[in-house]
Amino acid sequence: MDKLIRIDEKIDRLKKQREKMRIQQAILFMREAQKIFEDDFVPDIALGILSEM
- Domain coordinates of the chain in residue numbers? 24-53
Using DSSP's 3-state secondary structure scheme, residue 42 falls into: coil
pLDDT of the chain, 53 residues: tens digit per residue: 799 999 999 999 999 999 999 999 988 988 888 888 887 777 777 777 777 76
Q: Is the dihedral of CA 28, 31, 36, 42 positive or negative?
A: positive
pLDDT of residue 9: 97
The amino acid occupying position 46 is A
